[in-house]
Structures are given as structure tokens and as C-alpha cells.
Amino acid sequence: MTTSVRAPLETTTGYPAEIVARYRAAGYWTDETFQQFLGARAERFGDAIAVTGPDASGTDRAITYRELSDRADRLAAGLQSSGVQPGDRVVVQLPNIVEYVEVIFAVFRLGALPVFALPAHRSQEISYFCSFADAAAYVVTDTHAGFDYRTLARDVVASAENPPRVFVAGDAEEFTSLDELRSADPISDEPAAGPESVAFLQLSGGTTGVSKLIPRTHTDYLYSVRESDRICGIDENTRLLVVLPAAHNFPMSSPGILGVLHAGGRVVLAPDPSPDTAFALIEREGVTIASLVPPLALAWLSAAARTERDISSLEVLQVGGAKFSAEAAKRVRPELGCTLQQVFGMAEGLVNYTRLDDPEDTIVTTQGRPISPDDEVRVVDDHGEPVPSGTSGHLLTRGPYTIRGYYRAPEHNSTAFTEDGFYRTGDIVRLTDDGYLVVEGRAKDQINRGGEKVAAEEVENHLLAHPAVADVAVVSMPDQYLGERSCAFVVVQGEQPKAVELKKFVRGRGLADYKVPDKVVFVDEFPVTGVGKISKSELRRALEKTFVTS
Ligand code: OOB
């Protein structure tokens, strides 16, 4: 066994002691942890099916709670015997395959921390997560959707100072396969993780050069999961269809995979996001709830009219991650025959749901209200002063499952949080009289590409590395299907490259595909604001004009 020493985790989560005491006294924070989560579920729900879906080889699988728990235990043992230790970080980048669930629970069981990467991430993002979190291990699948993750792993290992061990679901080639790991002896007892310690690192959508890592604790996250179950009516009869990438906060915990497993229901993993695949699974598995981003909800609405599948088991369609227009929202009940639930959440914490028994008008026109009576929501103007109810302003929040700071980012934290611990979400919202939130826009420098978040600055930095780019500004442009796409305005130096060359350049630097600008516009100079900064709002307006006229 080889063991390399990893930096200890920075464990301060920033919740003041009196707040911790309050959340515990209120019963929000309990002693439950992810380390014992699956074992406890297996005892209770043993032979019920926990997860169905493809495995890495594409074979359809149905795994009971007991099997899932046994498999996760054996994987944990394998990880342990190959040197992964409690407190270590493990970057997990898996598509919607059953191994995803096994791996995250194996990592939890060991007392190690998953870092939840998305399948779309490439060498830029993964190398950064591995080095920033000082990851001991990196778990991938062999190939998925035409992409070979072992090639990516080779790049990541080659460029790392302290490379992670690589574990592969499926054909591992020179790496270690999960099957090999599973042959290890049972795990020796690991020290119990404290409920208020960090359980995993989630990724922020990002507003600066790179994504921030979000330290979520066992107790804060499990509180949001249990309450989500209550609000969304999740129980043993629930069948949840997971269409979005399983590692994203929405399908993971709102109430998502974790909520459904907590309640003894069944998680149905969809191998691809097409409505045809989804509808076939709804019919076969009797799916009761699904969570989608708005573009997929639109695709389901148009596919529902011509499907021959019986999708009548579907009771709730959750839509979130980006604004769902009221026009589309009101089509859900008549055309899909189920209740819409709008979900406005963020990996940093706060999640808002419309309630299942809300009046239709509330469901269609708002993005819901917070999970907890102790979620504090402030809507303020540009100077931080509260605005009157019904007026739009910046959303700030603090509460029993919202972080007090990003992982190892003191400088960023001093602006991303107020002095009294409120997270500045960067969203512009309005509060209705009955405390529901309506998302009106965004102040953060981010493009929301159908739920996938693109930090303008990150893409700008990569474009600036091109020798012909003198200056660049990346902004959102309206899009009928995705809501927004990205547009890079570029001032060139020397010979003007083709737009396609710049896109290829960005992709070639190992950035996730969804961050490659959808459009490149060459300009002689940028419009500037009164203080001489590039006026992104003017650039956005210019795009809107061309869209109206073209
Ligand atoms: C979810 O999480 P993230 O971390 O990918 O993105 C959070 C941001 C929010 O700050 C907001 O800008 C946007 O995504 N957003 C919405 C929205 N839901 C999220 N904007 C308008 N309407 C909505 N319904 O996206 C996320 C996490 C948990 C549950 C659901 C979504």
C-alpha cells in the first residue's frame, strides 16, 4: 500500500457557536451523517430496489438497498487499502450510472470527501479541482457519450504536482478498476465523522476566473434533504427519474437522489436526457417525480403531444436551475398531467420550492419560498439597504443550510458574504406579499446557459491567451431554447482570426464544451461606463437589438 500525505482539510465552516446551538436546539441540525446514511437505510429498506439504471458497461441494473450498501462497503475497503484515508478528497466525475451512487457512498463510508465534478468538465476544470482540493483520488468512467475519460485522467495525472490515484468504472486500462477495488477485505472501522464537519465539496457556478468549492457539512445538508422530502412528499413509493447530471445539487438533494434514498424510494437513472428515453422509463418504472432544467421541460412539453408512452404515473415535475417562463409553466399541468414545482436553489445553500398545494397562479408565476422558517432572506438595493416588499433588489441569504464561506477563499469570501454572514447570491429578486421569490435577473457576471453556469471571467481569461485577442468581454444573449447563450465580443490585435478558430482555441485549452462561446463578434472598441469600465449591459442591449431585427 502506498500512502501519500495530503494536506489536512480546512474544517472551519464559519457558523458562529450561538448559531450552531440555535440550529441544534430547533432540531434542524442532528447527529445524522452521510457516513452511516446508507447502512441505516439498508437496515430499514433492505430488499427494496434503491437504484435502477445502466452500469458502466451499459447493462441495465436494479440494486436493492442491501446490495448497494454491501457494494459501497466493499468499494470503501478497496479505496482504503489503496491508500485513501479519512478526510482525503476524492474527485468524482461519473455520468448517471449505478456506480455513481456506489462510489459516493463508499467515499462517505470511509470518512473521505467527494468533490462533485460534472461529466462535461475537462482537463482545465479537473486539474484545478484536483490540485486545489489536493485530491488523493479521481474516479471516472471508461467512456461515456463518445468521450474517453481515461485520456482525460492521463492529462490530469501528467500535469499534476501531486497526482491523484485514478479509479475507473469499467475498462480501466493502466488504472485501477472499481471491480479490483471491490475485492478488498471489509473496511476496518473508521473514526466517526462529526455531524458538523465538512461532508463534501460541491462546485459553484462561478463568477470569477475559476469555480469556487463549496464546503457542505453532514448536518446542514441532511437537514435540507429531510425537509425537501417533507415538502415534496417523498416516501417509499416515490420513483424519481434522474435526467440531469447526478452530481449537480438539484438532482442530488432537492430532494433528489439523497432525498429519495433517505425515504426508501427508488432512484431511476436515465442514460440520456432525451424525452423518448425519459418517457419510456416513466412508463416502465412508474416514475412519480422528475427534475428538469427549463430547456428540457420545454422538450418534454413538445414531445408529450405525440408520445405513445403512458406517462400518467408522473405526479410532480420539478423545474429549476434557470428561470422557467410563466407561459411555459402554465402548460405543465394540462399537457403533462402533473403538478409543476418550481425550484430556485443554489449549491451554496438556500433552496426555494413552490409547494405542491399552492394555488396554480403561485406555482406558475413564482420561484417558490425557502425550505426553512429560519432561512433569512434579505432583498437590498445597490447600497445594501432593504427595498420595500414587491420591489426588486439583490438577494442576500443566511440560514441553517447556507454556507458561511467558500473553501480556502478568504479574499473572495470577504466580498461574497456580508460581515454578518449573509451570502450575496448575485440574483435579482422580488418578494411577494406572502414571502415567495420571483427571480427578475442577475447582477453576477455569469451566463446561465439552460441551467449550466458559465463565469464570464473564466472564458475571457482563456480567450485573452490567444495572440490575436487584445481585449474581450463575454456576455449573455437571449436564446429561445436555452434562455441564454454566451457571446464573446473581441477586439483584435494584428490579423483577425476566424470566430471558429477562437472557439477551437478555447476548447483546445481543455475547457468544458458548454463554456465555449456560442458566438464571437469582432468590434473595434467597447462601450464604456461613466467610470471607464466595459459596459456589459450595453453589449447585451446591442445583442438584443440585433435579435429583434434579424
Ligand atoms: C442550481 O444551483 P447552481 O449552484 O448551479 O446555480 C445557482 C444559481 C442561482 O443563484 C440562480 O442564479 C440560478 O442558478 N437559478 C435560477 C433558478 N434556480 C437556480 N434562476 C432562476 N430561476 C430558478 N428556478 O441551479 C440549483 C440548485 C439546487 C436546486 C435547484 C437549482
The cell for 262 is 433517505
- pLDDT computed for residue 548 by the predictor: 45
> What's the pLDDT score for residue 237?
98
Report CA(501)–ligand 1 centroid distance (Å).
32
- On whether the CB atoms of residues 474 and 486 are closer than 8 A, the answer is yes
499: exposed, middle or buried (Cβ count in 10 Å: 0-12, 13-18, 19+)? middle
Burial group, residue 131, by CB count within 10 angstroms (0-12, 13-18, 19+): middle
| 344 CA distance to ligand 1 middle (Å) | 5
80 close to ligand 1 (CB < 6 Angstrom): no
Of 274, 176, 262, which Cα lies nearest the Cα of 225? 262
Cell of 301: 412539453
The number of the ligand 1 atom at minimal distance from the alpha carbon of 451 is 25
Full set of structural domains in the chain with CATH = 446-542 (3.30.300.30)
Measured by CA distance, the residue closest to atom 6 of ligand 1 is 346
- Ligand 1: does its nearest atom lie under 6 Å from the Cβ of 205? yes
Secondary structure E strands in 94-188: 113-116, 137-141, 143-144, 147-148, 165-169, 176-177
Q: Average pLDDT per run of 10 along the chain, which is 550 residues long?
A: 66 90 98 96 98 98 98 95 95 98 97 97 97 97 97 98 97 97 77 92 88 96 98 98 97 98 98 95 98 98 97 98 98 98 98 98 98 98 96 98 96 95 98 97 96 97 97 96 97 97 98 97 95 94 67
424 CB near ligand 1 (under 6 Å): no
Helix extents (H) in 402-510: 410-416, 456-464, 499-508
What is the C-alpha separation between 278 and 271, in angstroms, rounded?
9
Q: What is the pLDDT of residues 418-436, one digit of tens each?
A: 999 999 999 999 999 999 9
Annotate 163-188 with b (16+ C-beta within 10 A) or e (fewer): bbbbbbbbebeebbbbeebbebeebe
Residue 524 half-sphere exposure toward CB, CA atoms < 13 A: 0
Interacting residues of 452 by C-beta distance below 8 A, sequence separation 6+: 120, 514
User: Which residues does 94 contact at the CB level (< 8 Å), separation at least 6?
Assistant: 100, 103, 119, 139, 140, 141, 169, 246, 247
The answer to whether the CB of 270 falls within 8 A of the CB of 242 is: yes
Output the CA 109–ligand 1 centroid distance in Å.
29
Instruction: Please tell me the distance from the alpha carbon of residue 485 to that of residue 498, in angstroms, as a whole number.
Output: 19
Cα 267 to ligand 1 centre (Å): 22
pTM over 0.95? The answer is: yes
pLDDT in tens, 29-47: 999 999 999 999 999 999 9
Does residue 369 line the site of ligand 1, with CB under 6 A?
no
For position 327, what pLDDT does the model report?
A: 97
C-beta of 292 in contact with ligand 1 (< 6 A): no
How many Cβ atoms from other residues are within 10 Å of residue 111's Cβ? Answer: 23
Which tens digits make up the pLDDT trace of 4-28?
678 777 667 899 999 999 999 999 9
Look-up: residue for cell 434533504? 225
Distance CA 413, CA 408 (A): 9
CA of 409 to the centre of ligand 1 (A): 22
Report the distance separating Cα 462 and Cα 181, nearest Å: 38
Q: Is the Cβ atom of 69 under 6 angstroms away from ligand 1?
A: no
Name 396's bridge partners: 378, 424
The pLDDT of residue 3: 52
Residues ≥6 apart with Cβ < 8 Å to 262: 37, 41, 222, 225, 226, 229, 234, 255
- The whole-number pLDDT of residue 408 equals 93
With a 6 A CB cut-off, is 321 part of the ligand 1 pocket?
yes
Is any ligand 1 atom within 6 A of the Cβ of residue 250? yes
